[in-house]
Structure 1
Amino acid sequence: MNDMPTNTEFPVWGLLPKKETGVVSFLSKYPTYDGRGTVIAILDSGIDPGAPGLQKTSEGKVKVIERFDCSGCGDVNTTTIVTPTDGIPSSWKNPEGTYRLGVKHAFDLYPDRLKDRVKSEYKKKCWDEGHRKSCTPNLNEADKLEKENLDAKLDILNNYEKKFNDVGPIYDCILFNDGEKWVCCVDTSENGDLANCQLLGEYSITHEYAPLTQLDKLNFSINVHENGNVLELVGVCSSHGTHVASIAAGYFPNSPEENGVAPGAQVVSLTIGDGRLGSMETGTALIRAMIKIIELKKKMNVHVINMSYGINCNDLDEFINIDTNLILEDDNDLVSADYIPAQTETANISDDSDEEAEIISNQTNNVTNYQQAIRLVKDLQEFSKNKGAQWRRIGDLVNEIVNTYGVIWVSSAGNNGPALGTISTPSDINNEPIISVGAYVSPDMMIAEYAMRQKLPGSPYTWSSRGPTIDGGIGVHVCAPGGAITSVPNFTLRYSQLMNGTSMASPHAAGVVCLLLSGVIQQKLPYSPYIVRRALENTANFIEGVEIPAQGSGLIQMEKAFDYLVNYHAEQERDVRFQIQCGSANSKGIYLRSRLHTSLHTFKVSIEPHFLDSDNVEAEKKINFNMKFVLTCSASYVNCPTHLDLSNVTRMFAIKIDTSFLTEGLYSTFINAYDVSCIEKGPVFKIPITLIQPKEVNEAKHVVSYNKINFKPNTIKRHYYVVPNMATWAVLKLTSDEDSGRYVVHSLQAIPRQHCKILETNKTVAVTSKADSYLCFPVKGDLILEVVIAKYWANLGEANLDYSISFQGIKPNQPTITMHAADGIHTVEVKTLQGEEISPTINLKNSVQILKPSEGKIAPLSSRDIIPPCRQIYELVLVYNFVLSKQCEVSPNLALLSDMLYESEYESQFWLLYDTNKQLMGCGDAYPSKYSIKLEKGDYSIRLQVRHDKKDYLEKINEAPLLLHQKLSSNIPMDLYLSYSQALIGDFQAKANNPAHYLTGTITFAKDEYGKKADNYPIKYILADNSVKKSALSNDSAAAETTYEDLLKEYPDHLLIHSAYLQVLDPLDKRILPSFKKQTCSIEDDLNKVINICNKVIESINEESVLAFMATKTDLRPDAAKIKSTMEQQKNIYLECLSRKGIALCRISVSMEGSKTSEISSVWKSLVKFIDPSDAKVLTTHVLYFAIWHAFANKQYGRLMKYVLKLQEDKPSDEAEKKIIEYCEKLNWDHLSRHLQRSLPSKFPCAFKPF
């Protein structure tokens, strides 16, 4: 008997939570303040206007009012103008009568998930059945004489099945102006059936969109740039942006409980994720998005920006001048730093330790320096002198949008927690113009979204990033619900989906801001980004028991924030931001990772008021500005002034921090500045202070232990240690009394001026009572280590945990080892922490080739790339060429600018890798470790774009080298020795036949398995100069015959003369492949000429003598080497002439329909005495062409296909591919011919794709 539920009400309010922040009660009180009158720009992966809830606002207006793909992924070159004679539907209106044409690869627009689904459908419908039918007849044919031909057919079909790859369709794009607007038709029929294809106008004018095809359901729209020269197809590169938009502003008239936070708001979709990079944002897209926001301000008021994107960044000022031996000499200026200088005492090493072990390998230290690279780095340092921490060009524009144009920018804090200092960019921008939002999970969300068995107290998610920022800023200003089940794009074939992250918390906060502005705009009250942020922070609900770095000021409270704006909109600081700079580094706050030997710290602090759109503020307003503040801090360890008088000028004061009485742990507080005339409005500005007090590690055992520590869901335990100087790795051991527990272990060491992921380990570990769990991670001596152990927020149950952290170390005297092949022996010294056993191994894993640009061009970009009012952005396009002798995996790296995006002085870098046929093989950006491409042997080129609005900056790098990393087919181990004498007689020799300039890999020293896993060091092995001299052969066809006859008179028996002349008469690169189409011109005379010369050579060579020599196993004659060279030369020329003669005979036979059959057979029989044509490994190009023509002449089309495919594999060409399609049609392999025909435009495009 089934149990019938008694409660059938579903907690729909928890699917897209709004109660927690007071949105529901606010809208019930003010139903018209639902976001109407506001516009939110969403910088994300694109928004699907056809997704549920994104068609209309609560007023019936269009929800998504603008759509732009700022990445360039959807661009189509439409500079080709034609005047058609037929094929145009009569319903099309085109006064000019001319049309612009372009092509677009559909897969450029497809997200990865959609691409996989469409590929699967295509294979099922267009390949599988036809392929099965084509394979079946071959299994039953039994003509033994045709066995090779039949086997070839089956091998070909099986190989195509094995290597099946759908590159996707190429669609023609037809663009024209109907007299009022630009209109586009994308020919998805692929056969010119334009009448049945969708006609779309510019989205900004018509708000038209349509699915690309009924199969993919990818809604797209169009924009047009450069007076019709560029068509922009706008789709979505993932479902992320649509989900974000639904949280912020979705509207469901028939089910209001599904509404987003601000259902009355309108949305602008700005795609910053590049579909070619798997939706990674690029500098190009970010700059274009901000340009578009500034432009849109002219015709509409963009009020709010939401950016649920970001990565972790370095501080470039120190990043390009990094000193691994940095010692911070002045504690008084120590802000956001924890690097501890090495102790003067000798480390305490046990008696049985191996204090110094000498390891000698076969090379010596030699660092290659590039004068140009040094010059460029110095230039970059010059650029950076007066910049704030972390952000460069992109940050400048962000500040301009907020501080000049008054747009409120909301961003996700990141999902890199629970360790401190894990805030993502852009939330850590200098001057803090952005409202950074952490992710909170409520009890209702646990039940409705996550189907948990019980409710838990609301709290930030375990993974939500924690402050402070790298330079002491708060990091997280407020928090909001970080999960929702709501709309996703139609291409997913889903109504809604659960997503969680600070990406979901940020649009919730952005929606709240829209509600606030909707109210104040309707009440005609003034506002600014600064008072809105103060309203959110000063009215947030601080969650008890949760650290400040996780929640900032707390959970947003909608109604209180609105009341704040109404009550204090007339205060004089409404349009003023207060720039806080602490210490000599001018940081946003104080982040002190305290040294154990120093307890008193003094910091200078400066406060400077800045007015919104300061250049246009009346002088009287600046003159009259004056505020008197009371400064308070609840922390006993902070000593600060009590009062501050501030006018329109920078004021400075000092604060003192005393850590002498603090125990191990985290301490967070604020110095709050209250307006003495209105204390109740809360702090006008805050100075964030974060202190880390570490624990000493027992020097005798180097182990710290904890017993019976109680963990409940989302319990977080933080531990801080000064890592012993010689330690290089640590091992965490966990034991639980719980049957099954899920814990997050996050270890992190903040390296000065580098992002948090440089030295971190973030793992989810299953800990049970049945066995101990272990986790190892690298550490760096003398830096403070944070180890966080957290029971995952959704892991129910309570447990007691025992855990310990042990430090171990084997420290080399060179953190990075560089060897040169010419120097033979290299010595490395290592020291151990506590006598660890060593067992060093070196593995070289990659080769690196240094490519110099073959050409470089600087040019101005389009109107999309002009920063208002008139700052033109330029591009530098560099071209690099390289050759691969075999299949391998490559990863390009512009090392000078790598691993920098937001913090880079240059706006963007983007590279496209092509083969010789202009087929795009792959692309990438500033992060080389993310992009590796598997390539076949052949010639390739890389086109790399770097952008900047100053041409002279681009000129500085127009000769920048590119590193081409190639993964070795197998690792190369290197020998290591304990003594110099052993190394001296070692047999390792560097190979000089590699095009690479150096090899890279890793060296490990530990014998311990955990040490091998966690503690390894980079090694660079520089090869000798491997430059290859190119031959300077040339053919002068006009004088060839005269030269040939003259040489024959002088050297009548010299076979190479005939061979050279044959190359002139019948060059390899101009050889044609057989066709079923009738030959239109007579070629018999030319072919007979080739045959006559070949006959002369064949008759002059004794075939039997050559065969007899080839059969000889050992030749003991004194001149055996000379004889061998002569015989090898004769054999090669003999085979070449047989092949050339055979080809000529076959071509004559085909043109004369069957003649020369016996002669062809005779030549073939002579050839097969020397080689087996079925063995692809021994086929030369001459023999391969003869095999192709021999198969064609004998109508053995399976063999024909086999040989042509071999030719195409070695050197792909458009001609060969078309012939293969022709042969497939002859074999009735219709499915294969259609598939290859469909792939032809992708494999052999007419032009390079735009950046």
Structure 2
Amino acid sequence: MTAVGRPRNRWCCAATTLVVAACAGSSTPAVVLAPVDSAVVDQPAAADRTQVVQREPVLPPQLAMLAGLLPLRTLGADSFRLAHPTYDGRGVLIGILDSGMDPAVPGLQTTTTGQRKILDLRDFSGEGRIALVPVRPNRDGTVDVGGHRLTGFSRVIRLASGPYYGGVFRELLLGAEPAADVNGNGRITDEFPVIVAKASDGWIAMTDTDSDGSLDDERPVHDYGVAPESFTYRSHPDSPGPVTIAVNFSEEDGRPVLDFVVDNSSHGTHVAGIAAGHNMFGVEGFDGVAPGAQLLGLKISNNARGGISVTGSMLRAMNYAADYANRRALPLILNLSFGVGNEIEGAASIDSMIDQFALEHPDVLFVISAGNDGPGLSTLGFPGSADFALTVCALFPGVFARPPQPGVPAPDDVLGWWSARGGESAKPDVCGPGVAFSNVPAWRAGEEISGGTSMAAPHVAGAAALLASGIRQNGGRARAIDLKRALMATATPLAGTTTLDEGAGVPNVSAAFRWLRAAHQTGVYAVRAAVDGGNSSSSSAAYRRNGLASPGDTVQHFVVTSVAGQPAARLLLESDAPWLHAPELIEPGGGPVTVRLTYDADAIREPGVYVGTVWARPATDTLAGPSFGLTNTVIVPHTLAQPLRRKGMLTPGAAARHFLAVPEGSGGLTLQLEVPGRTQQATLHLFEPSGQPYRGGSSRVAGGDSMSVTLVVSAEDVIPGVYEAVVVGSPIEPANYELAAQLPAVTVTSIGTGPSATLRNHANRRVSATVSAGLLGTVQTQHVEGEGARPVVVRTAVPRWATKMVVDVALPTDAWNALTDFGVTIFDALGRKLSDGPLDYAFGRQTIELDSAHTAAELEVELFPAFAHTNPPVAWSADLRVAYLVDEPITLELLGEGTAADIGLPPNGTISLQFAPPPADFDVPANHVPFVEVSAATDAAPAAVRRGPVGR
């Protein structure tokens, strides 16, 4: 959403970096097991800045196709198309709600039948909006637009009579290089004048694409929906520019409104290729899942601000697509590879809007990515948590795990470690391949391999298009619920996983098509868990994060409602867990039905996670598969009254979950993961009690030169509740591990004026602690208020000594539920983007490295809300904290004791300490206060650390 991999390389494409070493004859591993941002693209040297840099794919596309790097085999799309060559998506429309779509890439030109691939490109983001004002030609035939003079205006006059309008397209609108460098000259500060007029066939735009100052050699460009035209700005006469631009026109009070449509992320183009690309890279037969399908490119995101959706863009895009398909009588599949984290599952406005859309458009299947915040439970994002969407988790395809070897099959696919899991929501629904080689714009060449649930969703959307195509050619029309149920009912579960990990499992297109041809009857049901006992969820699943609330907390009610007007049905109930019990049947009809489930408390007492589902199947058609499930999760955490140590063995790709109860006042948490040898590898992931990845950096990799890694939660970041530590193995090799978790014996409970600190001893005996303090920098906290959807800009002066900037933003939960995204972008004084860190949850943190060009300068922090509804609330607010950090902490003496002192604390007692103030010559900016760190270390437990502001 802000996408999945934000695109969110932040939430939609955050999965893997892949190096196809086999192409160079190397035998080194082909994958780095760590979430990363998109790779850095080399920029042209200064001497070459007037030349367009020709980038090449990461490996030859022919080889990528032969190696199966667009994994069609996983869902059986290749065999289905081989058996049914015409059921290739033809006659079906796929709408891609994303970052845009590049109409110039070879794989998005035509379908398998020679029809135009992209039927329309629309921009709902406003990112490419160009302000227009009336202009008049000068007597000499020139025209002035925004300080730029153009010759050749007579060409415009020959094409259209007045009035005429002009505006300026600025590269800085598109963010950072390389996408913002539209003409490939190595700068992102260029400006291009644009002329708009109304010709006999509609509005046209003319612009100086070759920067020669003349329109004589330029051609008019129409709205893409009128004519499939696009253009590039170029800095070399013999080469097109690297960034393709299409045009949208609308009118307000008879005046033109102009948008330049650009995929300045590449995410949407990559997703489109997976779903429906045909002859990608000009290679015959290199196709996406449904190469016969046609596309709508629906840009919903402002990519310059981290790929965030904007207010109302999702709603406007999906309504436009539904209307477009309805007017042309085309089956429609929508793909949304966007999303952000849930704070309260089931409460997000966009979830309700998508569910309402699904009910109003029962023939439109909405496929949505689950999110990339896994592997922790309760990490599934919205709007993937919408009940009636088909929500897709990600597999890590075995073809990417290691270089191909003659005669040796690729490793099995495993569940993607990054793939979000359910908890309060009974999601995801199915899994698809989460890494793929697909087409990208020219400026992104070299990054054809991307990973995330963003890539899994279009695999499944393409599979649905194959099914819809086959049914249509047999004279039928499949409802969305039929396509969804077919893919789920015939899916194959992965070994060692639960429904919260994978939903129904991995679909198979041929099996799903047979299911559809069998004419199974399916109903549409909404499921809600009652807030019983320790259940914290009122969404589609029951979720007890801290075990049973009491010995009597053994009853869980669900309310099941038939929502599509189908007749009453008898549904047989069956539990898949021995500790979970249900009645034999229910009969939902005209009103809600309450189902009473019971738990066997004796069977779920030991620490661990217990997941069970009661499946409801039609009594008259048990082969149809489940109509719905009633999913229950009970987590029994480890208490940390004593240090915890656990050993385990992981099969390839497996995840071991450890839940840790962290009480109020704990003052910190330390985890250590160790593997026994350099050749083994395991990754530690930590999740806060809400399910959010730990805000201080949630993962550490053990293996190679770092066989032991440590993750420390400092006191100011501790949230009382049940944390989840997940240890994930390599996708190709087993691993042994040992995990340790411990609370500090002495905590730093507060930091006060002076600076001062209060320490507490949690032991029943006297404890000696080594105490030290350091000045980290300065910090300012302020409450920010905004109006409607308008962004708020906060200016901040960078002190000369600063080497890092840390920005924390916190929103109220109810405000978060009303959003689809919230951008946090840092700009310098010239308007150049330094960093973007859109929020994934109501709290977010980003760290920016500063250099000498930024010190003693003013930066801008832009807060950019994106509301689900087209009419945003009147006001919103956020808490903003900006900290500037020194390169190395400045030691502060403990008064009367020195720089590091051994302090005795009485049993269960507290002590207050005073430290020397910051150096007199340390520059504290206006409205800032010193920011310090206090540490207390003991022999028997990890050091307790607290960072915080010094009160005035």
Contact 1:283 1:908 in 2 (8 A): no
Q: What residue number does 2:950 align with?
A: 1021
Task: Show CA shifts across 1:555-603 (max 9, x none).
Answer: 111122122223235x3x44x2333333354221122335388565334
Contact 1:416 1:463 in 2 (8 A): no
Q: What residue number does 1:423 align with?
A: 380
Partner AA of 2:348 in structure 1: W
- TM normalised by structure 2 equals 0.78
Q: What residue number does 2:102 align with?
A: 48
Residue in structure 2 matching 1:650, options 584, 592, 595: 592
What does 1:974-1053 correspond to in 2, within 5 Å? 976=894, 996-999=926-929, 1001-1007=931-937, 1016-1023=945-952
Residue in structure 2 matching 1:403, options 341, 359, 363: 359
Q: What residue number does 1:463 align with?
A: 417
1:948 deviates by: 6.4
Contact 1:313 1:900 in 2 (8 A): no
Are residues 1:236 and 2:236 paired? no
Moved more, 947-956 or 510-519: 947-956
Aligned counterparts of 2:461 and 2:190: Cα–Cα separation in 1: 39
What does 1:529-568 correspond to in 2, within 5 Å? 529-568=480-519
What does 1:250-399 correspond to in 2, within 5 Å? 250-252=277-279, 257-283=285-311, 285-293=313-321, 296=324, 299-300=327-328, 301=330, 303-315=332-344, 389-392=346-349, 394-399=350-355
Structure 1 residues 236 and 837: CA distance shift in structure 2, 3 A: same
Residue in structure 2 matching 1:743, options 670, 673, 682: 682
SS at match of 1:242: helix
Task: Show CA shifts across 1:773-831 (max 9, x none).
Answer: 2323338697444333232114x4x55x35241414145474x65x46xxx68562322
Partner AA of 1:433 in structure 2: F
Partner AA of 1:743 in structure 2: A
Are residues 1:586 and 2:538 paired? yes
Aligned counterparts of 1:589 and 1:462: Cα–Cα separation in 2: 22
Aligned counterparts of 2:269 and 2:820: Cα–Cα separation in 1: 30
SS at match of 2:711: strand
Structure 1 residues 608 and 926: CA distance shift in structure 2, 3 A: same
Q: What residue number does 2:167 align with?
A: 102
Aligned counterparts of 1:481 and 1:763: Cα–Cα separation in 2: 25
Contact 1:100 1:176 in 2 (8 A): yes
Q: What residue number does 1:246 align with?
A: 273
Contact 1:897 1:904 in 2 (8 A): no
Structure 1 residues 627 and 76: CA distance shift in structure 2, 3 A: same
Contact 1:246 1:486 in 2 (8 A): yes
Q: What residue number does 1:483 align with?
A: 435
1:525 deviates by: 3.0
Aligned counterparts of 1:877 and 1:581: Cα–Cα separation in 2: 37
Residue in structure 2 matching 1:224, options 236, 240, 249: 249
Unaligned 5+ segments in structure 2 are 1-24, 26-61, 142-150, 896-902, 905-909
Unaligned 5+ segments in structure 1 are 123-165, 316-387, 613-621, 859-873, 1024-1251
Are residues 1:211 and 2:239 paired? no
1:514 deviates by: 0.9
Say what the alpha-carbon RMSD is for the aligned residues: 4.3
Q: What residue number does 1:761 align with?
A: 698
Aligned counterparts of 1:560 and 1:938: Cα–Cα separation in 2: 62
1:1021 deviates by: 3.1
Partner AA of 1:186 in structure 2: T
Contact 1:539 1:560 in 2 (8 A): yes
Aligned counterparts of 2:686 and 2:847: Cα–Cα separation in 1: 27
1:415 deviates by: 2.9
Aligned counterparts of 1:981 and 1:510: Cα–Cα separation in 2: 61
Moved more, 247-256 or 26-35: 247-256
Q: What residue number does 1:629 align with?
A: 571
SS at match of 2:512: helix
Aligned counterparts of 1:208 and 1:271: Cα–Cα separation in 2: 17
Are residues 1:667 and 2:604 paired? no
Residue in structure 1 matching 2:388, options 420, 426, 433: 433
Moved more, 19-28 or 841-850: 841-850
Aligned counterparts of 2:577 and 2:756: Cα–Cα separation in 1: 55
Aligned counterparts of 2:340 and 2:278: Cα–Cα separation in 1: 31
What does 1:442-841 correspond to in 2, within 5 Å? 442-443=397-398, 446=401, 454-455=408-409, 457-469=411-423, 471=424, 473-493=425-445, 497-568=448-519, 571=521, 573-574=522-523, 576-584=524-532, 585-595=537-547, 598=550, 601-612=553-564, 622=565, 625-662=567-604, 663-695=606-638, 702-706=643-647, 709-722=648-661, 726=666, 728-736=668-676, 738-751=677-690, 755-758=692-695, 761-767=698-704, 772-778=707-713, 783-794=721-732, 796=733, 798=734, 801=736, 803-810=738-745, 812=747, 814=749, 817=751, 819=752, 828-832=758-762, 835=767, 837-841=769-773
Structure 1 residues 521 and 582: CA distance shift in structure 2, 3 A: farther
Q: What residue number does 2:34 align with?
A: none
Aligned counterparts of 2:935 and 2:658: Cα–Cα separation in 1: 28
Q: What residue number does 2:16 align with?
A: none
SS at match of 1:226: strand
Contact 2:525 2:562 in 1 (8 A): yes
1:53 deviates by: 1.5
Are residues 1:195 and 2:216 paired? yes
Aligned counterparts of 1:229 and 1:912: Cα–Cα separation in 2: 32
Task: Show CA shifts across 1:1093-1123 (max 9, x none).
Answer: xxxxxxxxxxxxxxxxxxxxxxxxxxxxxxx
Contact 2:394 2:431 in 1 (8 A): yes
Residue in structure 2 matching 1:845, options 770, 773, 777: 777
Partner AA of 2:115 in structure 1: K
Structure 1 residues 197 and 976: CA distance shift in structure 2, 3 A: farther
1:219 deviates by: 1.2
Aligned counterparts of 2:109 and 2:343: Cα–Cα separation in 1: 40
SS at match of 1:647: coil
Contact 2:824 2:861 in 1 (8 A): no
Structure 1 residues 451 and 720: CA distance shift in structure 2, 3 A: farther
Structure 1 residues 458 and 930: CA distance shift in structure 2, 3 A: same
SS at match of 2:485: helix
Contact 2:70 2:437 in 1 (8 A): yes
SS at match of 1:672: strand
Structure 1 residues 998 and 974: CA distance shift in structure 2, 3 A: farther
1:647 deviates by: 0.8
Structure 1 residues 603 and 534: CA distance shift in structure 2, 3 A: farther
1:56 deviates by: 0.6
Aligned counterparts of 2:205 and 2:872: Cα–Cα separation in 1: 38
Contact 2:430 2:488 in 1 (8 A): yes
1:78 deviates by: 1.1
Task: Show CA shifts across 1:288-340 (max 9, x none).
Answer: 4345435535644571121222332323xxxxxxxxxxxxxxxxxxxxxxxxx
Aligned counterparts of 1:1017 and 1:666: Cα–Cα separation in 2: 31
Q: What residue number does 2:58 align with?
A: none
Q: What residue number does 2:152 align with?
A: 88
Aligned counterparts of 1:9 and 1:983: Cα–Cα separation in 2: 66
Task: Show CA shifts across 1:336-355 (max 9, x none).
Answer: xxxxxxxxxxxxxxxxxxxx
Contact 2:435 2:452 in 1 (8 A): yes
1:280 deviates by: 3.9
Aligned counterparts of 1:671 and 1:968: Cα–Cα separation in 2: 53
**Identical aligned residues as a percent:** 21
Task: Show CA shifts across 1:716-737 (max 9, x none).
Answer: 333344457747322425242x
SS at match of 2:381: coil
1:418 deviates by: 3.0
Structure 1 residues 836 and 551: CA distance shift in structure 2, 3 A: farther
1:74 deviates by: 1.3
Aligned counterparts of 1:740 and 1:29: Cα–Cα separation in 2: 44
Aligned counterparts of 1:401 and 1:830: Cα–Cα separation in 2: 55
SS at match of 1:660: helix
SS at match of 1:837: strand
Aligned counterparts of 2:63 and 2:836: Cα–Cα separation in 1: 50
- TM normalised by structure 1 equals 0.60
Question: Comparing both structures, which one devotes a greater share of its residues to strand?
Answer: 2
